[in-house]
Chain A
Amino acid sequence: MQASDRFNINSQLEHLQAKYVGTGHADLNRFEWAVNIQRDSYASYIGHYPMLAYFSIADNESIGRERYNFMQKMLLPCGLPPERDED
């Protein structure tokens, strides 16, 4: 790799994508995008305690249970991924 390669836009993007989970790219499909949004949302709900409390009032669950449920949902937030095309 040449020194200049390190500064071109693609490698910078790659670096960003590796460093910041959820950084998009041109080939991002609808499912991946949604998964990222959902995971970010759940993380935000867990991080903002008042919001977590707000949800747990609606669900009539304890805040601890609500947090656990949100964590569990981060595994497959949008259901199963779609079948990939062969290409």
Chain B
Amino acid sequence: MYLYSLTLQRATGAVCAVIGSFSGRDSKKSSSSGSSSSSTQEIAVARGTTLELLRPDPETGRLRTLLSVDVFGAIRSLAQFRLTGATKDYLVVGSDSGRLVILEYSPDRNRLDKVHQETFGKSGCRRIVPGQLLAVDPKGRALCIAALEKQKLVYVLNRDAAARLTISSPLEAHKSNTLTFSLTALDCGFDNPVFAAIELEYAESDRDPTGQAAEQAQKHLTFYELDLGLNHVSRKASEPIDNGANLLVTVPGGGDGPSGLLVCCDNFVLYRNQGHPEVRAVIPRRADLPAERGVLIVAAATHRQKSLFFFLLQTEYGDIFKVDLEHSNDTVTELRIKYFDTIPVTSAICVLRSGFLFAASEFGNHALYQFRDIGRDVDVESSSATLMETEEGFQPVFFQPRALKNLYRIDEIESLMPIMDMRVANLFDEETPQVFTACGRGPRSTLRILRPGLAISEMARSMLPAEPIAVWTVKKNINDMFDAYIVVSFANVTLVLSIGETIEEVSDSQFLDTTHSLAVSLLGEDSLMQVHPNGIRHIREDGRVNEWRTPGKKTITKVGSNRLQVVIALSGGELIYFEMDMTGQLMEVEKQDMSGDVACLAIAPVPEGRQRSRFLAVGSYDNTIRILSLDPDDCLQPLSVQSVSSAPESLMFLEVQASVGGEDGADHPANLFLNAGLQNGVLFRTNVDMVTGQLSDTRSRFLGLRPPKLFPCIVSHRQAMLCLSSRPWLGYIHQGHFLLTPLSCDTLESAASFSSDQCSEGVVAVAGDALRIFTIERLGETFNETAIPLRYTPRKFVILPKKKYLAVIESDKGALSAEEREAAKKECLEAAGVTENGNANNGDQMENGDGQEDGAEDRNTLPDEQYGYPKAESERWVSCIRILDPKSRDTTCLLELQDNEAAVSICTVNFHDKEHGTLLAVGTAKGLQFWPKRNLSAGFIHIYKFVDEGRSLELLHKTQVEESFHYCKYRRDENQLYIFADDSVPRWLTAANHIDFDTMAGADKFGNIYFARLPQDLSDEIEEDPTGGKIKWEQGKLNGAPNKVEEIVQFHVGDVVTCLQKASLIPGGGECLIYGTVMGSVGALLAFTSREDVDFFSHLEMHLRQEHPPLCGRDHMAYRSAYFPVKDVIDGDLCEQFPSLPADMQRKIADELDRTPGEILKKLEDIRNKII
């Protein structure tokens, strides 16, 4: 069995993020400020194995993805730097490749280019191979890459005569038996670069059996100086530091600040510098935090302006603190920590110069915030000046989280991280199945319903007097930004709506309204054309109307037009061709009798700088499409003919770039595609040769039950195509790829692009008797989602197929139950009024003074999604069982488990006697502990019966099983309780799925997917054996089963797979194995059906491995074989990078495969279409 692996939804979580001016472009708006540093900023986000570049749009406040590249390696750290005097930032990537990679973003070609790749060690995430920690000198002169233990390498960065970046060979700064917690570079202006690290030495503790050395183990803050003159790194100083230290943050220096470091420790923030006394302040704690818990900083960002700088530090509970330093020259006198706001816990926060804050959430959706203030108001504050030390230690400062005051959320990026469980099913009876995913953690848990396709957001919907048959939009002048009219045609009238502040009917448009229309468009520069069954009405800009009438009793049946050319088909099959002349008159040029009625017509758009387009496509009922010439010398003469499987219903020409273009426009020549919607529901696409008009390279795809009607529209400033079948599809270009994706909305009758003041790129469509205006969102996404909030981390769910309900079990460790939380909240509110602590009182006064009307109430309704649940003792569990109706999104039943029980497994069971019908079984564990030893005080199985139409649950039976919790499973075949075969490798399974009689698919926690199959002869033997292999089993073999299964497929996904299911995502498509991962990606493995395809794709994969090695330096084959050698899986994600290669390399690879690049693209498209 050979499989094709394809990621359907790339990982949505974020590992780390940095900000920089990677494009090096000046922003249009900031030129007024005149500052040299006013270039646009982009955010580079590492999402596990993909690297993304995001740019916030300062006008709309939305984040746009510029680029997303799969690097086939684990990205562990990112850093950005700029050479002195340059305007562009480079991106440094620390990964598992054992190499340091420096990337440069090229905005013209919209790609990341590898500038340097320096090998320093073995690949893989190893203890002593650098890659985990990365620091760059603020002046861009040197960088340091470090491992968790021992190794640190320093590279000197410089530029050569041609201003290209150069990198030195590495300088070693190793220290054996030493762990590194954090690494950063000091800002020391143009003095020698200095790096600082939090280090802990363990050699003594390993040798001392009394434990004294371990107790006295002391973390040190170590400074490494790079002497640029001597080209040498020296360990300059090593000072003892608080043993809770975990993170270093650079303090601006060199004239902008005092230089030095912020050292974030458990509960404290310190200011340190060489030869400077320590300045310490305590991090304020939430009032409801248990005393034994510390407060740890997990993310930090620095904001620098000319005259001011401050730091934003986020704690593990989500609270952000603003840190200010009071300093004179290089001496820091006071460190102040002030409560700023609370947002969900992040893995990285970035402050943008344009006044935005990007929060890459560690679980759940990411967000973009706008600054409303920078925390100048009075708030709970702790300072080094007021630090109080008592016998019990430092006096804590308390605060209560409050609603957002300084930040304001303006955009959200959806993240599925982590997918805990997933099912594919068609519960809504739609055309394609839905993917149900249980995502998120704790209070931010959701059940998300994913549907393949793009989301639309409806802006307006209005009812029309009758059912319209078609809709158009027209501009009055070609140079206008926005459309002027919406024209709606009914069966025998035409309605004209004018677009302004509002959309209203007008009668002064000169359009003929007593008949239905066949086409409405802008003609020439500024005149309008309406084609109706009896003629063509040409409305000049000054109001004059020219009318061309059909001869005799003939009527116009079909029209094709572009800006300068019009072709009509009369009943009986006569074609008449018009052209616009110099004076703006529409002149009849040529006539041609076709043999029969014309089914549809289309003219290609006028090429840039030309007078006319050369191609006319005519579809006939004899299942052919003809290309006719429109050149004056061979006008309406056939150029080529294509026969199709069914009569064409609609035709459209669309230009498609075959390769990656620039960020905004492309310099690659475009390919002209003729698209045809056939009556059997197939969309037929074929390439038109720009010179000869020959058709080649055809592709077809079934879109739906109705014949697709094609309409042009605009998507991200480029021509795109709407195909309206039983559901609408959008064909558009995204990051250089042509994508054909369904839209998530009902059947539409007719559509046109729409552009107005409020909505620059929308679509107006008619469906039934409604006129709808909508925009298309989140381009490039495979799925769109609807979320239903849950209470705790979802662990598993089952679908109850009869009632189409979901049963979800949720549980959380170390949290309080709903009632306890309510009680605690009340208590807290009462306590807040009478706190003795001066600081807390201070904060309280602020809240009272700030807003009497919302003060108390606001705090009562703080959403848990934003603030998180209060922490309880770590051995406490809360859990609930929920029955959910996904259609109405209602929870019909919610049972909270009592007494420290956690639900861990769920399934439906049918008992022998069938007295109660289908029952729900929930496995629970009481007092579950993972550390120091995995144990639990009791395990139960609850059996519930469905009552009240399955909406509610009744407890039937509760049994106690004293058995240990099995975490580690062995592969076992069939449902037999004796193990007659097992795997030769023990694995920590995270998901498993039954594939066929002899085969199981499994995924382990190291990110591998494998298939294990019972050998055929063994399977037969067991079938025939009357004892079912029992005798052999009793004999045993080296403590294992007598037989071993064969692992027939091995693949490293690079992400913990949490769920596997065999399912089909498209109607009538073959089944593939769908998986979901912790990082929130969804992928599929499809079995190849022909040997030919296997050969083709394995060769393509091989060539891509050679010609286009992964961006971050990891060898592709080694990555996919990280734990077990990859076996019989072809990596579709690598193959799909083929279109992004330069055209000459595409040709080279295609030649080696004896194909054309177009054929390869078609193959890639075909196989993707088999999956989704």
Q: Given that A21-B128, A75-B205 are known contacts, is A53 also in contact with B362, CB under 8 Å in the complex?
A: yes
B200 engages A75 (CB within 8 Å): yes
Q: Which of A31-46 contact B (CB under 8 A)?
A: 32, 35, 39-40, 43-44, 46
Q: Given that A75-B200, A80-B214, A83-B209 are known contacts, is A57 also in contact with B148, CB under 8 Å in the complex?
A: no
Q: Which of A5-31 contact B (CB under 8 A)?
A: 20-22
Contact partner, A43, options B149, B176, B202, Cβ 8 Å: B149
Contact partner, A60, options B210, B793, B1055, B1056, Cβ 8 Å: B793
Count residues on chain B whose CB falls below 8 Å from chain A CBs: 63
Given pairs A53-B1078, A80-B209, 11 additional interface contacts (CB within 8 A): A21-B127, A21-B150, A40-B127, A43-B127, A59-B813, A59-B930, A60-B814, A65-B298, A68-B181, A74-B148, A80-B210
Closest residue on chain B to residue A70 by CB atoms:
B148
B207 engages A81 (CB within 8 Å): yes
Q: Which of A53-67 contact B (CB under 8 A)?
A: 53-54, 56-65
Closest residue on chain B to residue A36 by CB atoms:
B127
Q: Given that A53-B362, A81-B209 are known contacts, is A47 also in contact with B74, CB under 8 Å in the complex?
A: yes
> Which residues of the partner chain A approach B317 to less than 8 Å between Cβ atoms?
62
> Which residues of the partner chain B approach A46 to less than 8 Å between Cβ atoms?
125, 132, 148
A54 engages B298 (CB within 8 Å): no
How many contacts between A and B, using CB within 8 angstroms?
145
With an 8 A cutoff between CB atoms, is B417 at the interface? yes
Interface residues of A (CB under 8 A from B): 20-22, 32, 35, 39-40, 43-44, 46-51, 53-54, 56-65, 68, 71, 74-76, 80-84
A21–B316 alpha-carbon span in the complex (Å): 32
A64 engages B296 (CB within 8 Å): yes
A16–B418 alpha-carbon span in the complex (Å): 40
19 CB-based A-B contacts, threshold 8 Å: A20-B128, A32-B206, A40-B127, A44-B126, A47-B126, A47-B148, A48-B125, A50-B1056, A50-B1077, A53-B417, A59-B814, A60-B793, A64-B297, A64-B316, A64-B347, A74-B148, A74-B179, A75-B217, A76-B205
B149 engages A51 (CB within 8 Å): no
> Which residues of the partner chain B approach A21 to less than 8 Å between Cβ atoms?
127-128, 149-150, 176
A84 engages B74 (CB within 8 Å): no
A35–B76 alpha-carbon span in the complex (Å): 24
B125 engages A57 (CB within 8 Å): no
A40 engages B126 (CB within 8 Å): yes
A57–B815 alpha-carbon span in the complex (Å): 13
> Which residues of the partner chain A approach B246 to less than 8 Å between Cβ atoms?
64, 68, 71
Q: Which of A20, A35, A49, A54 has the most CB of B within 10 A?
A: A49
A71–B183 alpha-carbon span in the complex (Å): 14
Interchain nearest-CB distance for A4 vs B (Å): 28
Closest residue on chain B to residue A84 by CB atoms:
B209
Q: Which of A40, A83, A84 has the most CB of B within 10 A?
A: A40
With an 8 A cutoff between CB atoms, is B1006 at the interface? yes
> Which residues of the partner chain B approach A47 to less than 8 Å between Cβ atoms?
74, 76, 96, 125-126, 131-132, 148
Q: DSSP majority for the B interface?
A: loop
With an 8 A cutoff between CB atoms, is B715 at the interface? no
> Which residues of the partner chain B approach A84 to less than 8 Å between Cβ atoms?
209
B176 engages A50 (CB within 8 Å): no
With an 8 A cutoff between CB atoms, is B619 at the interface? no
Closest residue on chain B to residue A76 by CB atoms:
B214
A32–B177 alpha-carbon span in the complex (Å): 13
Interface residues of B (CB under 8 A from A): 13, 15, 48, 74, 76, 96, 125-128, 131-132, 148-150, 176, 179, 181, 200, 202, 205-211, 214, 217, 246, 296-299, 316-317, 345, 347, 362-363, 417-418, 420, 441-442, 793, 812-815, 874, 930-931, 990, 1005-1007, 1054-1056, 1077-1079
Interchain nearest-CB distance for B290 vs A (Å): 13
Interchain nearest-CB distance for A83 vs B (Å): 5
Contact partner, B127, options A22, A49, A75, Cβ 8 Å: A22
A82–B207 alpha-carbon span in the complex (Å): 9
> Which residues of the partner chain A approach B96 to less than 8 Å between Cβ atoms?
47
A68–B1007 alpha-carbon span in the complex (Å): 23
A51 engages B1006 (CB within 8 Å): yes
> Which residues of the partner chain A approach B1055 to less than 8 Å between Cβ atoms?
50
A35–B780 alpha-carbon span in the complex (Å): 47
> Which residues of the partner chain B approach A74 to less than 8 Å between Cβ atoms?
148-149, 179, 202
Interchain nearest-CB distance for B318 vs A (Å): 8
Contact partner, B316, options A35, A65, A80, Cβ 8 Å: A65
Q: Which of A32, A39, A51, A53 has the most CB of B within 10 A?
A: A53
A47–B77 alpha-carbon span in the complex (Å): 10
B1079 engages A50 (CB within 8 Å): yes
> Which residues of the partner chain A approach B814 to less than 8 Å between Cβ atoms?
59-61
> Which residues of the partner chain B approach A68 to less than 8 Å between Cβ atoms?
181, 246, 296
Interchain nearest-CB distance for A8 vs B (Å): 24
A60 engages B812 (CB within 8 Å): yes
> Which residues of the partner chain A approach B128 to less than 8 Å between Cβ atoms?
20-22
Closest residue on chain B to residue A55 by CB atoms:
B930
Q: Given that A39-B127, A43-B127, A80-B214 are known contacts, is A62 also in contact with B316, CB under 8 Å in the complex?
A: yes
Closest residue on chain B to residue A65 by CB atoms:
B316
B442 engages A60 (CB within 8 Å): yes
B48 engages A81 (CB within 8 Å): no
Contact partner, A64, options B299, B418, B1005, Cβ 8 Å: B299
> Which residues of the partner chain B approach A53 to less than 8 Å between Cβ atoms?
13, 362-363, 417-418, 1056, 1078-1079
